Amino acid sequence: MDKLIIEGGTPLKGTIDISGSKNAALPILFAGILLDAPLVYTNVPDLRDIHTTIKLLNVLGCTCGYSGHRVELAPGSLLPEAPYDLVRTMRASVLCLGPLLARIGQARVALPGGCAIGARPVDQHLKGLELMGATFELEEGYIMGHCDRLRGAHITFDMPTVGGTENLLMAAVLADGETTLENAAREPEVVDLANFLISCGARIEGHGSSTIRIRGVSSLRGTEYAIMADRIEAGTFLVAAGITGGELLLKNCPFTELESVIAKLESMGLAIEQRPEGVLARYQGVLRGADVKTRPYPGFPTDMQAQIMALMCLAEGSSMVEESIFENRFMHVLELVRMGADIRISGHTAMVRGVSRLTGAPVMASDLRASASLVLAGLAARGTTHVQRIYHLDRGYERIENKLNAVGARIRREKE
């Protein structure tokens, strides 16, 4: 198992290329199950979750391979089972459920695993698919789904759910008739999935709004599609510029999709400017406290909560973070406190009082975004920080230590 050793206290300066989005790539890869023609994906990030997805697609009967941020997928004779050994490491693997039911009318998918940041139940996925004609049983930790052919339905989500919206969107493109998804997730990654499906011949309207309409088609054609840039990786590097007192130019940085994050960082004192060559983030000599409440898009993303909390630790005054999406997403707090942060938790709210400095310490990563927050804190801290259990980090950030070292960081990877 690897760990990162970070020598902190160096302002970062230079240019970083933003990778393709993991959260967009995963559902778009699973959407390949829907096609009976070859396709090519480009700008695919080189991440553990991506390679796990490719393994799963091969197990399900597709021929799928990765090389140089490019994935080529050829359809085959599909099998219905997504085994536990692959699914247990990645919650997104449940996204094969809708495509399998749409293509072959059956699916046997292990209940998903992944980061321990909340229950994230799949009940919204199953309720929607049942309205489309599927039936389900739970057997020995597997979701067993069957249908003759999915049919269009009017589905209203109890709450916006990214995974549920994606699963039902994929299922609906081959369903008989029209499907309407109400209270749908509006995240850019959902829009990217819809745009990919449209490029394959799907008929979709309203993606990016809370009401999506899909008219089913008999088949989809092959295409070549570039995955959108990763707004969470970009947001993490924006924070890195501020927390180290540096200046970073982010190439291929999604700007509009980061409006809520950029607005909050600007209110904390960062200068952020969109330029033809990328997005420039610059520290201006002082950081101010701010209040954040995580919300579904276009609100402040829960996937940036841990990172901006690391920045708040060094901001003047007090800040407040309210986590309204996941009930268990403050596990990074105790590790930040080990580094000298002043944070107190009450229910789903964290109160952060800024300190003059953080100090390096051995810390333990509990999930993907918590890992990023500890790396950020280590970059700013005086002394040496050891971030352990970074396999979480490798699920969502492509060679983060290489990108950061190229702009002045001092990070090395070692075996624990």
User: DSSP code of 233?
Assistant: H
Q: Which residues are annotated as a binding site for UDP-N-acetyl-alpha-D-glucosamine?
A: 91, 120-124, 303, 325
Q: What are the domain boundaries of the chain? A: 2-18+230-415, 22-226
Beta bridge partners of 298: none
- The pLDDT, as a whole number, for residue 405 is 98
Q: Which residues are annotated as a binding site?
A: 22-23, 91, 120-124, 303, 325
Would you give the distance in Å from CA 137 to the centre of its chain? Answer: 29
pLDDT digit string (tens) for 14-35? 999 999 999 999 999 999 999 9
Task: Give the residue from 32, 26, 21, 95 showing the smallest Cα distance to 223.
Answer: 32
- Burial of 154 from C-beta contacts in 10 A (0-12 / 13-18 / 19+): exposed
**In Å, what is the CA distance from 165 to each residue of 61, 171, 186?**
25, 10, 9
User: DSSP code of 300?
Assistant: B
- The pLDDT, as a whole number, for residue 113 is 54
- The pLDDT, as a whole number, for residue 114 is 44
Phi, psi values for residue 96, rounded to 5°: -80, -10
Cα–Cα distance measured from residue 59 to residue 77, given in angstroms and rounded to the nearest whole number: 11
Task: Give the residue from 1, 11, 13, 9 showing the smallest Cα distance to 360.
Answer: 9
Q: Which residues are annotated as a binding site for phosphoenolpyruvate?
A: 22-23
Given a cut of 50, the residues of the chain with pLDDT beneath it are 114-119
- The pLDDT, as a whole number, for residue 141 is 83
Instruction: Give yes or no on whether 2-18+230-415 and 22-226 have one common fold.
Output: yes
Cα–Cα distance measured from residue 343 to residue 318, given in angstroms and rounded to the nearest whole number: 10
Is the CB of residue 82 less than 8 Å from the CB of residue 104?
no
Total residue length of the chain: 416
Phi, psi values for residue 107, rounded to 5°: -160, 140
3-class SS of residue 65:
strand
- The pLDDT, as a whole number, for residue 87 is 83
Cα–Cα distance measured from residue 108 to residue 18, given in angstroms and rounded to the nearest whole number: 36
Contacting residues for 368 by C-beta, under 8 A, at least 6 apart: 115, 392, 393, 395, 396
CATH number for 22-226: choose from 3.40.50.720, 3.65.10.10, 3.30.300.30, 3.40.1180.10: 3.65.10.10
Q: Mark whether 96 is an active-site residue.
A: no
Assigned fold of 2-18+230-415: UDP-n-acetylglucosamine1-carboxyvinyl-transferase; Chain (3.65.10)
- The pLDDT, as a whole number, for residue 110 is 86
- The pLDDT, as a whole number, for residue 88 is 80
Here the tokens at position 253 are 């940085």
- Burial of 14 from C-beta contacts in 10 A (0-12 / 13-18 / 19+): middle
- Of the candidates 62, 115, 147, 200, the residue annotated as catalytic is 115
